[in-house]
Amino acid sequence: MSFWIDTHCHWDAPEFDPDRDLLREAARAAGVAHCVIPAIGRMDWETVRELAHRWGDSYALGIHPLYTGPGRAHERDIDALAQMLEDHHDDPRLVAIGEIGLDFFVEGLDAERQTWFYQEQLKLARRFDLPVIVHVRKSSDQLLKALRQWPVMGGIAHAFNGSLQQAQQFMECGFALGFGGALTYDRALHLRRLLQTVPMESIVIETDAPDIPPHWLYTTAEQRAQGVPQGRNQPAEIPRIAQVLQEIRAQGAPDMREARQDWQQITTANACRVLPKLGALLAGARHG
């Protein structure tokens, strides 16, 4: 399969309201033939599903850790999620539960409440035999602890920036690691070393659009104060991000075979492996 997959794009975000369909076409013109659209909460489950069906993409259903606070999520939303998964389990475009996880970077969030929602969604992943897309921010050890208690079929550690040891533990749990715009910054030394070290079979590419813009879209606080808007990330940036990924991998390559790898083919195959329904969906589209 010779195309790019953006394994994490929030197409339902309000930043895309003015020109969503045009940007999806721009992504397709850039070679990004498929996007995985994760939900962040009950309010967007139907929206991500509709977008995936409109464009021939795929989606994930879940409750994001930043949206687990009172007033944003209720414990009964887990029951609603279970019902949604039951209703659409046979939908070939429903490829994962996500975006779920833990965020211990943002201050003021209830860690216990986040953990409860995360664990309950892992139980649903086991019940419905689906992989998960996990949000990882200063929370790798706690995420892994729960995965050992409620093992799932794997998935994607989105925007991973933990240690090599933590990366290895995620990979042992059947996860690929999501890399995107953050790796394009020269100062992202740890992330770049990690990218050079992990096996190529564990790398998928993503944008997290409209967030985590690559360096060529980033504006400083001073520029924003002067009225220069922050660049809006979008899946059409995937080929350029992938070029940076390839250059970083080549710098640490032990031989020229690594430098010549086809990262479009590799990352697409990796995404299809860790999201099995995605692989089946794309194989069916290719042979249909």
User: Over the stretch 133-146, which tens digit does the pLDDT of each residue have?
Assistant: 999 999 999 999 99
Look up residue 40 and give its two tokens: 């962040």
Report the SS3 class of residue 281.
helix
Instruction: State pLDDT tens for residues 205-229.
Output: 999 999 999 999 988 777 777 776 7
Q: Is residue 248 predicted with pLDDT exceeding 70?
A: yes
The average confidence (pLDDT) of the chain is 94
Please measure the distance between the N-terminal and C-terminal CA atoms of the chain and give it in whole angstroms.
14
**What pLDDT is stored for residue 194 in this prediction?**
96
**What pLDDT is stored for residue 99 in this prediction?**
98
In terms of Cα–Cα distance, which of 25, 63, 23 is closest to 42? 63
User: What is the number of other CB atoms lying within 10 angstroms of the CB of residue 130?
Assistant: 25
Q: Is residue 163 predicted with pLDDT exceeding 70?
A: yes
| Range of weakest confidence among 23-27, 107-111, 205-209, 223-227 | 223-227
**What pLDDT is stored for residue 222 in this prediction?**
79
The pLDDT-based confidence of 50 (bands split at 50, 70, 90) is very high
**What pLDDT is stored for residue 258 in this prediction?**
62
Q: Is residue 288 predicted with pLDDT exceeding 60?
A: no
Decide if 260 contacts 285 (C-beta within 8 A): no
DSSP annotation of 230? P
The alpha-helical segments, DSSP class H, found in 106-220 are 111-128, 140-149, 164-172, 189-197
Q: How far apart are CA 55 and CA 272, in angstroms?
A: 18
The pLDDT-based confidence of 2 (bands split at 50, 70, 90) is confident
* Domains in the chain with CATH codes: 9-287 (3.20.20.140)
